[in-house]
Amino acid sequence: PQITLKGVVPVSGIVLGPNGLPLAGAKVKFYDVTVQPSVRQGAANDRTDANGHFEVLVPDNIYDVNFEPPVGVNALVYHWNNLDTGAGGVDIGSIPLSTGLPLSGHVQGPGATPLLNVNINILDQVTRTAQRVSHDNTDANGDFTVYVNPGTYAIHYDPPACDGMAPLEVSNVDVFAPTTLPVTNLVTGVHLLGAVTDAASLPVLNADLDVYPAGGATKLYTPGDKTSATGNYDVLVAPGTYDVRYIPSSLTRLRPALRTSVALPANTTVPTVVLANGWLVSGTVRQVSSLLPLAGAEVQFYQPHTAFQAWTPHATTGTLGTFNTSVDAGTYDIKIVAPPLSGLIDRFLTNVTVSADLPLGDQVLIFPSTGVAPGAGAGLSLAAPFPNPSHRRVDLSFTVPDGEAELSAWDVAGRRVATLWHGRASGAVQVQWDGTRDGGSMLPAGLYLVRLTDAHGGRQLRRVTLLQ
């Protein structure tokens, strides 16, 4: 077909290395942010010259721009958000690159054969935010070196599809000095194939497959694990036996499904998974002082007066404070968990019957009652954890008044990691925590908060340090 070339404007500047001198051979990459997901804008002459200078011609638009050091330079990628080129272009001046820590490794396949072009993705271990790194593919010898800030990371190894190797995640990699990883061995993968439909046999689009080792709690790294427009999926994993969770999009009323002990000794097509419809429970969570929407509140559904929590994906409020969660018909105790650093107390709704779509309206979370200091409540007491610090065994003793209460653990970033106890008690309770998160996986060493709350606004908070 006919190709129409767009008019362009110049974007220019100078890239400086960590030593403050002009850096030759740095790469400038433009990503169009006016479309989602953003796409890379093609550009020529997008490397700096011997004087560190660049002038790249791109269509007038708004871009995210990455400035990547050349191979072998110990520097981090510099990222510029929302650069508006303007009608006449823009000179953005000097771009200083900072020194990073080298993270190196070697990737090989069966028979210790080096693997070429395995893509290395670096994620913050806690937030799961992808780090911007350059030259992140293995070379012909299976080697790679990327540069990162100090931190703890998860590393994704994503081999080319034509290799047939199963992707892999390595978690809790500490990088606080130049680091060389142990050799990473990838294995030949097998294909988990199948289809997902609704009760009317219509294909389900964008259902997410979460794959776990059978009986395990650590999710595998499985890129491309969503169903297509035809409801089909094709996920590459190492041979083994797995539990597979099928999680529909939050835009539907479909309920998730679980298939346990799926054996995959070779490429396997499993029977079609049918997702049932549920009822939508919706509402908006607000804070009392301003009535502004509250993001990050978690909506939990329990069988009445028990600690058995229903499986409800997509049950955390977004930036508008709203939730719209599909559940099975039944009667629930609903707990709206306040973000832990908000100072607000959780809200309990008891014996809520769901037999049709149920709008709950505004749910206002309040601060502890006047005269009840944060961290204290009549009859509410949480003893100091013992031992502290602890090698993965913490004894927790607490007393609650008659009524609903909960003991939970949180990381210092304000994320709930474990529910340790939930129920009613009229006296002292003892709980032992082994340092694992909900689901059973071991938490990394560090500082955590243990919080005891009740339905009357009482709150007790203790710190505990987990050791390796």
pLDDT tens digit sequence for 96-106: 999 999 999 99
pLDDT tens digit sequence for 419-468: 888 887 766 788 889 888 887 788 888 888 898 887 766 778 888 888 87
**What's the distance, Cα to Cα, between the start and end of the chain in Å?**
62
Average confidence (pLDDT) over 351-375 = 74
Per-residue model confidence (pLDDT) at position 370: 33
**Which residue in this structure is represented by tokens 């097998």?**
190
Per-residue model confidence (pLDDT) at position 177: 96
Closest by alpha carbon to 209, among 224, 198, 187?
224
Q: Compute the distance between CA of residue 369 and CA of residue 378 in angstroms, rounded to an integer.
A: 11
Q: Compute the distance between CA of residue 354 and CA of residue 360 in angstroms, rounded to an integer.
A: 11
Q: 246 with 262: CB under 8 angstroms? A: no
Q: 154 with 146: CB under 8 angstroms? A: no
CA 84 to chain centroid:
30
Per-residue model confidence (pLDDT) at position 379: 66
- Between 182 and 126, whose confidence is greater? 182
Per-residue model confidence (pLDDT) at position 461: 84
- In whole numbers, what is the pLDDT of the chain averaged over residues? 90
Per-residue model confidence (pLDDT) at position 195: 98
Amino acid 268 reads T
Q: Compute the distance between CA of residue 61 and CA of residue 241 in angstroms, rounded to an integer.
A: 49
Model confidence at 369, pLDDT cuts 50, 70, 90, reads very low
Strand partners, 453: 406, 459
Per-residue model confidence (pLDDT) at position 375: 40
Per-residue model confidence (pLDDT) at position 46: 96
pLDDT of 371 over the 50 cut = no
**From residue 429, how far is each of 401, 413, 419 by CA, in Å?**
11, 28, 15
> Cis peptide before 374, with omega less than 30 degrees from 0?
no
Q: Compute the distance between CA of residue 340 and CA of residue 230 in angstroms, rounded to an integer.
A: 41
pLDDT of 316 over the 50 cut = yes
Structure tokens at 109: 């396949």
Average confidence (pLDDT) over 94-119 = 96
**Which residue in this structure is represented by tokens 């990381």?**
411
Per-residue model confidence (pLDDT) at position 378: 52
Percent over 90 (pLDDT), the chain: 65
Model confidence at 411, pLDDT cuts 50, 70, 90, reads confident
pLDDT tens digit sequence for 253-274: 999 999 999 999 999 999 999 9
Count of CB atoms situated within 10 Å of the CB of 69: 24
**Which residue in this structure is represented by tokens 């997702």?**
275
Q: 358 with 280: CB under 8 angstroms? A: yes
Q: 237 with 220: CB under 8 angstroms? A: yes
pLDDT tens digit sequence for 66-89: 999 999 899 999 999 999 998 889
